[in-house]
Amino acid sequence: MTPLLILMLGCTAPDSGDSGAVRDTGDDQEWTCDASGGRMHWVVDSLAWSRADGDVSDGFDLDDDVSTTGGSGGCGIADFTGPDGSEGVDNAFARLLPVLDTTEFVGAEAIINSTIVSGEVLLIGELAGADDLTDDDCVDMALRRGIGTPMLDTQGNILASQTFDLDPTFGDVEIPDMAIVDRSITGRPFDVALPIQFLDADLTFDLIDGALRFDIQEDGSVKGAFAGGLEIQVLIDLAANTGINDEVEDLLRTLLASAADLAPDEDGQCQQISITFLFTAVPAYVYEDVWEDE
C-alpha cells in the first residue's frame, strides 16, 4: 500500500523577537555563549513517532497546562505523563497512531528513514560553547540542513564521524543561551518546517512553538525529541489533495477534529494537534567554508 506521506524535513529560524544574538549568515551577529570551546555536530540517523504506552508518552508540555479529559484546558484532551513522571505532556497525535497504522499511513516511518539514509534529508545538530558535556550553564544550539550522500555500514545505518556540507540556502533553527544539565539540553520555542512530497503534490506544514531535547550519550551519540503544534487543516488539505483512499481521508478528518488539543480559536475549538518525533544522531563534521563564502 502507498504510504500517506513522505516527510522531507528541514528547519525554519525563529522570529527575530524570539531570542537574542544568534549566528545568522549574512549578518555580523554572534552566539550568546562563549564558543571558544569550539562546535560539535551530529547528523540525525533515525526518526520515529513518539508513541504512547497507556497514559505515558515522551514529549513536552507545549501549552503550559496539565489538561484532563473534558477539562477546560487543551480542548478537553487529556495530556500524557512523561517517562520521567513529568505531567502535562502534549502528544495527542500518539492517540491516533493505532488507528492510522491500520491504513495507508503505516509505511510513513519507513519512508522517512529511507530519505535520511539516502541523503535526501540530512538534519545536522550543532552545539557551540560546551566546555563540559555533563553540565554547562551556557551553550548555544542549532539545527541545520546538511548536503551529501552519507556512507552506510553493513547494516544500512549512517556511519559516525563523516563530513557534510551545510546548505546555506536553508533556514536554520537557532536557540541560544541554553544549559546542559546531566548531559541533557532542552530548549524552546522554535518552528520546524515539514515539506511533504506525495505523488505529484508538494506541500509544506509547520510545527509551531516547538520544543527540542538533546540527550548526549556516553558514547558520544545523541537521543532526543522535538515536538510542536500541527495545524489540523493542513493535514486535512493534504489528505484531500494527494488522492488517498476516500475512507482514509474521512477517517483522518474525523480523528483530527476529535483529537486537536492546541491553539483554540474564539469558539474554543482547537486548531492544532500536538505531535512529537523521537530521533537518534551520530557524531559528524561539517565543512565550515560554507559560512566563509557568504
- For the stretch 235-277, pLDDT in tens is 777 666 655 667 777 787 888 889 999 999 999 999 999 999 9
**287 located within any domain:** yes
Q: How many domains does the chain have?
A: 1
Residues with Cβ within 8 Å of residue 58, at least 6 apart in sequence: 50, 82, 83, 89, 91, 225, 276, 278
Which residues are paired to 144 by β-bridges? Answer: 124
> What local confidence, expressed as pLDDT, does residue 30 receive?
52
Q: Which pLDDT does position 218 carry in this prediction?
A: 95
The confidence score (pLDDT) of residue 25 equals 33
Question: Which residues are paired to 56 by β-bridges?
Answer: 53, 81
Cα radius of gyration (the chain): 19
CB-based contact 234:207 (threshold 8 Å): no
3-state secondary structure of 238: helix
Would 211 be classed as within a structural domain?
Answer: yes
pLDDT band for position 54 (50/70/90)? Answer: very high
CB 91 within 8 A of CB 98: no
61 lies in some domain: no
- The confidence score (pLDDT) of residue 230 equals 86
**Per-residue pLDDT averaged across 283-294, rounded?**
66
Q: Is the pLDDT of residue 122 over 70?
A: yes
The pLDDT tens digits of the residues spanning 9-32 come to 433 333 333 332 233 333 334 557
Range of the domain at 159: 28-52+91-236+273-292
- HEC letters along 26-90: CCCCCCCCCCCCCEEEEEEEEEEECCEECCEECCECCCCCCCCCCCCCHHHCCCEECCCCCCCEE
Q: What percent of the chain has pLDDT over 70?
A: 76
Q: Answer whether residue 183 is part of any domain.
A: yes
Q: Are 174 and 142 in contact (CB under 8 A)?
A: yes
The overall average pLDDT reported for the chain is: 80
pLDDT tens, 79-118? 999 999 999 999 999 999 998 888 777 777 887 788 889 8
* Domain presence at residue 138: yes
Q: How far apart are CA 123 and CA 87, in angstroms?
A: 29
Residue 12 lies in a domain: no
For the cut 80, the answer to whether the pLDDT of residue 6 exceeds it is no
252 belongs to a structural domain: no
The answer to whether residue 14 is domain-embedded is: no
- Cell 558514547: give the residue: 219
